[in-house]
Structure 1
Amino acid sequence: MGTGVPRGHLPGVECGSTRARQPDASTPAYGGGVGEVLVVGAGPVGLTTAIELARRGVRCRIVERRPGPHDGTRACTIWQRTLELFDLMGLPVDRLRALGTTFRHRVYDIFGAHEVVLDVSEPDSAHPEPLIVSQEHTEAMLVSHLASLGVSVEWGVPYSGGVEADWVVVAEGARSASRERLGIGWAVSGFPGTQLVQVDARCAPDLPGDPAAVRLFLGPAGSVGSLPLPDGRHRLFISRPGSGVGDPSVEEIRDWARAMTGSPVSLSDPRYNWRAKLYNGIADRYREGRYLLVGDAAHAVIPVNAQGMNTGIQDAVNLGWKLAAVIADKAPESLVDSYEAERRPVAVGLLEQTRRSYWAGTDPAPDPDTMVQLLARNGKRRTLIGMGYPSSPLSVGAQVGSIRPGDRAPYPPGNPVAAGLAQAMRAGGWAVFAFGPSPAASAAAATVAAGRARVLPLVFADGAAYGLRPDEDGLFLVRPDGHVGFAGRLSDVDGAGSYLTTLLG
């Protein structure tokens, strides 16, 4: 837990202040008057946080320094678990999908010695393939849905402290000023001597391989990636030695792509060419009193693995239901501390993974055979379907069927179990899944859910979706973020009830 900074006041800001410092005389500063939660930052992570609060009846306000939404492709890969969460939040995922394109394979050319084709589809998910769609479309969907809940983004409103709010969620990005003012440490690990250059452009002829796949070419001079975009362009991203200044020219990117892939590619109709020096960063802690960090304000990861936005959105979903339970349902405030306990290890693992896998031609060349083995072992982790919280204090019980406490709850396409999960999650609450003979299963589910408006009892005779044999029964409590909190048998009704009482009061 943090040090108890009172009611959302930043250190050094006078309590009761009605107006924040004015960073620019022509720009209005945030002046207070929020209610329960102020969300600072209206990128995908801040918007998701606000939606998760608002749809559970929590009063919130969201402010953003930028004059309007982002434009362009930016973070454009949405992995399957994030699509599932959007779906379970009640967002119009089908409409978003119609604006993008999906892919199934990531193809790696490893030093010309090996080709590794990874199938990144998840056939047991209602969203089996990752989606490539411009970030501007993702943000537009989130802004629109938030407005339907009665909350509008306040654009062009910077935040510099001095606001009375019960809680402040900081979603300002990696250069968060609020994190610095709060004195939260920020550990940075760089990739010295390397750079990333990128452009969205039409390629003719295309790079070698299937143009509908994500392709990566690793060679002595670094790596080249190609990502198919919905409008027929490809995003080319190149990691290589150097420290150039300013945005690269399209000709510079073209020449590197030719040299590093052996293709006579030409680029036309380019957009969004830029250069970056890459680093990973992570906050020492995610909470300081009533301030909570989410997304890039809590952890920044290099963009080459397309995980930053997805991880941040999942932060927001994890935090959102917990903070709403504390505010709206008077759950113990300690529930909020489980946010960092669950999500920070995910970020630590992601940063370590990117450190091991990033190749820009500066370190000793990795062994190709070892890389093949690593890809075969870890290739599907990026979909985030298998990510869970087995070590969380909120994960109680034992493995039943194929499900352990902390696992993602199964969401099989076209299955009544998935429909039940969607019904509970879209209502913003919990689900009790009772599998087994009808009288016993019905009684168990009803007993656990009794007196709790946000807990939906669901009864099924067939527990195959949870890996149960026909003669096995099971009792599962699924949290509002779609993870299993408690796993047991129908006889464990008292344990399930005690779990909810301890967690929610």
Structure 2
Amino acid sequence: MEQQTEQTRQEQQVVIVGGGPVGLWLAAELRLGGVSVTVVEERTDIDQRSKALTIHPRTIEVLASRGVHRPFLAEGLPIPSGHFAMLDDRLDFRALDTPFPYTLALPQARTEELLEERANALGARIVRGHRVTGFTEHPESVTVRVEGPGGPLELRAAYIVGCDGTRSTVRTAAGIDFPGTPTTVQGWLGDVTLDSPPRLGFSTFGPRGGVMVAPLPDGRNRLVGLSPDSLATERHGELTLEELRAKTIAIAGEDFGMRDPVWLSWFGNATRLADRYRRGRVLLAGDAAHQHFPTGGVGMNVGIQDAHNLGWKLAATIRGHAGDALLDTYHAERHPVGVQLMEHSRAQTALVTGFTTEALALRSLLNRMIATQPAFSRALAERLGGLDIRYPAPDPAAAHPLTGTRAPDLSFTGSGSGLFSRLRPDGCLLLDLTGARAFDTLADRAAPGLVVHAETLDGPPGAWAAVRAALIRPDGHVAWAGTDGDDTALAAAAERAFTLTHHLADR
């Protein structure tokens, strides 16, 4: 009884439910922001069946902004193109404005291992083999009920974040609706050894169906496909190697010498989006907030980017560096990304499940568009790679065109490192590009959470050429950019932008 009483007194500032990539990245962000955090994960070990395989360019940038991208680059397999709805003509990532113009093929299990090691090193408490059963929200805190091998216990925190998947206990307990559409299509996948693997980026599609082959870093390959008999809501038992072989031969004409499966599975196209990402002291991220057909492998990437948006805001709010209204911007910024994700996924679903003559003609048309219209192809690649996200400006009337966009890895004169290495997880970065140190006293006047860097851009790209100062958020998005030639007016505008970004006037 004494042990149970002691357990119920455990307190931390944030409880994260779910120890997948999203929960682990959020835990690390909160620790970097000076917040104590406990991650509760029902699994005792990392699931070796990797649902996610692809790390997209923007997610690599996110990793680079915290200086942790190198192990991923060392182990992942770079692929300089991506597919849209398994079309024959692939999207060329090499034209993208990023230091990482490719996707990385890396099993989710290894991604989780790397992220868990980092979260542990930063001091996050990760509790495996425990299940959250519910919570009670109070005016100033949340009491989280947990079941574990030692019996029930309670955790008390300022906030709870559900990163616990499409069947989220947190979302359900919070009464947050999850509207959408049910499964109408069943795709299939298999992680197997291929004795005669096809070329890199292989995919084929026709009246009999479509199949795509993606290499895994361990030498195996993942086959993903659909066929006319996939247009059903019911799964016909467990997928077998012989079924996978037969489907692949029917579509591609050969089985590529497949053997030794390590994972065979069906997957569906149920598509749902939480109507709120925040309700009081409850927040959602990743699959707990959005479910969709895994076209393009974007799910984990969008989830990590959810966490990247939320982490600094939650830490700043808890530490008193921002007003509570800052947390509302998490929904305002990320829910539209979820809406876009639903649209993108449904559009690709229509294309990969269209086996009629008319549907194949549409695919042929889009193939030619990708091959002959560089702007169209690039727009799709930027969408898929997560590089086109733009958040609303705090002050739209005075917003520079760069406001809300993701800042590129700007180069600085006389420096061997770019902007990503200067971003701070615990505060905004004010780039003083005036050459006159116009903001030296601003950090002292502003609330904690602002660091000033006097820099000179080396060959500034596009709209950055006229910028004399910019406020960059911890997540790498531009909060404000100024071109005023009057240094006093520029400093005043920067200070106002910082106040608006952190909702300091609302406190």
TM-score band w.r.t. shorter chain:
0.7 to 0.9
TM-score of the two chains, using structure 2 as the length reference:
0.84
Query: Structure 2 CA distance, aligned partners of 1:109 and 1:454?
Result: 43
> What's the counterpart of residue 497 of structure 2?
499
Equivalent residues in 2 for 1:316-331 (5 A)?
Answer: 316-331=307-322
Query: Structure 1 CA distance, aligned partners of 2:188 and 2:132?
Result: 32
Q: Deviations over 1:416-447 (max 9, x none)?
A: 689363344245321112324x22xx11x324
When residues 410 and 109 of structure 1 are mapped into structure 2, their CA distance, relative to the original with a 3 A threshold, is closer
Q: Which of 108, 114, 132 is the aligned partner of 1:141?
A: 114
Contact 2:413 2:455 in 1 (8 A): no
Aligned-pair distance for 1:218?
Answer: 2.3
Q: Deviations over 1:37-80 (max 9, x none)?
A: 11111000011111111111111111111112222432111001
3-state SS in 2 of match to 1:450? helix
> What's the counterpart of residue 75 of structure 2?
99
Q: Which of 150, 161, 177 is the aligned partner of 1:185?
A: 177
Contact 1:224 1:260 in 2 (8 A): yes
Amino acid at match of 2:215: P
> What's the counterpart of residue 6 of structure 1?
none
Q: Which of 81, 94, 107 is the aligned partner of 1:121?
A: 94
Q: Deviations over 1:220-275 (max 9, x none)?
A: 23321111111221110112333432321111111111111233533122211111
Contact 1:395 1:484 in 2 (8 A): no
3-state SS in 1 of match to 2:72? helix
> What's the counterpart of residue 371 of structure 1?
366
Larger displacement relative to structure 2 (271-280 or 118-127): 118-127
> What's the counterpart of residue 190 of structure 2?
199
Equivalent residues in 2 for 1:42-191 (5 A)?
Answer: 42-91=19-68, 93-106=69-82, 115-121=88-94, 124-162=97-135, 163=143, 164-191=156-183
Aligned-pair distance for 1:99?
Answer: 1.9
Contact 1:395 1:485 in 2 (8 A): no
When residues 123 and 108 of structure 1 are mapped into structure 2, their CA distance, relative to the original with a 3 A threshold, is closer
Q: Which of 396, 417, 420 is the aligned partner of 1:419?
A: 417
> What's the counterpart of residue 151 of structure 2?
none
> What's the counterpart of residue 475 of structure 1?
469
Aligned-pair distance for 1:107?
Answer: 6.1
Contact 2:405 2:478 in 1 (8 A): yes
3-state SS in 2 of match to 1:173? coil
Contact 1:394 1:485 in 2 (8 A): no
Query: Structure 1 CA distance, aligned partners of 2:4 and 2:174?
Result: 19
Contact 1:221 1:361 in 2 (8 A): no
Aligned-pair distance for 1:381?
Answer: 1.7
3-state SS in 2 of match to 1:230? coil
> What's the counterpart of residue 399 of structure 2?
398
Query: Structure 1 CA distance, aligned partners of 2:294 and 2:301?
Result: 11
TM-score of the two chains, using structure 1 as the length reference:
0.84
Provide the aligned C-alpha RMSD in A: 2.7
Aligned-pair distance for 1:469?
Answer: 7.8
Aligned-pair distance for 1:119?
Answer: 1.1
> What's the counterpart of residue 390 of structure 2?
388
Query: Structure 2 CA distance, aligned partners of 1:190 and 1:89?
Result: 38
Amino acid at match of 1:456: V
Query: Structure 2 CA distance, aligned partners of 1:317 and 1:292?
Result: 13
> What's the counterpart of residue 454 of structure 1?
449
Q: Deviations over 1:292-328 (max 9, x none)?
A: 0111001112213201000000000101100111011
Contact 1:476 1:488 in 2 (8 A): yes
Larger displacement relative to structure 2 (307-316 or 369-378): 369-378
Equivalent residues in 2 for 1:242-253 (5 A)?
Answer: 242=230, 243-253=234-244
Q: Deviations over 1:187-218 (max 9, x none)?
A: 122352x21111111224333xx32x3x3322
Q: Which of 13, 18, 33 is the aligned partner of 1:36?
A: 13
3-state SS in 1 of match to 2:181? strand
Aligned-pair distance for 1:415?
Answer: 7.4
Contact 1:431 1:477 in 2 (8 A): yes
Amino acid at match of 2:178: W
Q: Which of 268, 272, 277 is the aligned partner of 2:263?
A: 272
1:435 aligns with 2:433: yes
Query: Structure 1 CA distance, aligned partners of 2:35 and 2:13?
Result: 7
Amino acid at match of 1:270: P
Contact 1:62 1:153 in 2 (8 A): yes
Identity %: 31
Amino acid at match of 1:460: E
Query: Structure 1 CA distance, aligned partners of 2:355 and 2:173?
Result: 36
Aligned-pair distance for 1:84?
Answer: 1.0
Contact 2:410 2:419 in 1 (8 A): no
Q: Which runs of 5+ in 2 are unaligned?
A: 136-142, 144-155, 371-375
When residues 434 and 33 of structure 1 are mapped into structure 2, their CA distance, relative to the original with a 3 A threshold, is same
> What's the counterpart of residue 405 of structure 2?
407
Query: Structure 1 CA distance, aligned partners of 2:78 and 2:421?
Result: 26
When residues 19 and 284 of structure 1 are mapped into structure 2, their CA distance, relative to the original with a 3 A threshold, is farther
Q: Deviations over 1:24-45 (max 9, x none)?
A: xxxxxx9562321111110000
